[in-house]
Structure 1
């Protein structure tokens, strides 16, 4: 199920066509939206993962940022996941057309859809990939308007 209805069509298309390369303990696995990946599914089952998400903190709002900024926010994402005691494997989001820079990301194991959405929202991402138990990756958009009470938490979480 893809829920990118609020994303501009060109951006939604780019996210849908991207290659999400996971650096698993068994080697690189290319994940594509809507395509079941047997190797990834088997690894997630071995890890007894209830679901997984591919998350990044890089280039918030689909605005290209400096490497230094992206490194800093990606480190903040790592700290946020560590606080939640979540496991992860490194990954990278790739544009098959080479028009968008490679983005470091993480495949986060044993994360719920709601937790993944919250992390993506905290780091001002427009979308993220979620892989449910059936193993079919889906793109999910992220509504970025937070209630005022959550804005302070967002600012403190992403401050560098």
Structure 2
């Protein structure tokens, strides 16, 4: 993890819930906790990893709704261009009191692809899971 990120942001990101709107229903992820539904979704798609990203609020700074929507649309286009299975999702504050942000879960995205998209859209972190179905926060 990067040392320039305040502990309050790290704690908020770690406590958040990360939702993936999968065909069989919503999958709720918690950082560091094995999720059999995510693992099953990846296996069903023949994927060994998943990257979950948003373009909202770059640098963890509140941006306007129009700006957030514009960059999220661009992220969705970039994700789609990878030619990998993508599902919509949402980040929710762990305590339920905070902003929610739309996300895209990109099944089969490599660590390099996830880091590249996170950097392109000014994100401090993104969620990444290997085939074991344990999501982790990565700080590109």
TM range (shorter): over 0.9
Report the equivalent of 1:134. 132
Distance 1:32 1:4, change over 3 A: farther
CA contact (8 A) 1:94 1:102 kept: yes
TM-score when normalising by structure 2: 0.94
- The correspondence for 2:63, drawn from 57, 62, 65, is 65
Q: Which consecutive segments of 4 or more residues in structure 1 shift more than 3 A?
A: 3-6
CA contact (8 A) 1:35 1:137 kept: yes
Between structure 1 and structure 2, the one with the greater Rg is: 1
Take 1:26 and 1:7, find their aligned partners in 2: how far apart are those partners? 36
Report the equivalent of 1:75. 73
Report the equivalent of 1:41. 39
CA contact (8 A) 2:80 2:86 kept: no
Q: 5+ unaligned residues in a row in structure 2: which ranges?
A: none
Report the equivalent of 1:100. 98
- The correspondence for 1:88, drawn from 83, 86, 89, is 86
SS of residue matched to 1:49: coil
Following superposition, the deviation at residue 6 of structure 1 comes to 4.2
Matched, 1:26 2:24: yes
Take 1:84 and 1:107, find their aligned partners in 2: how far apart are those partners? 12
Q: 5+ unaligned residues in a row in structure 1: which ranges?
A: 143-160
CA contact (8 A) 1:7 1:141 kept: no
Q: CA RMSD in A?
A: 1.2
Take 2:123 and 2:54, find their aligned partners in 1: how far apart are those partners? 8
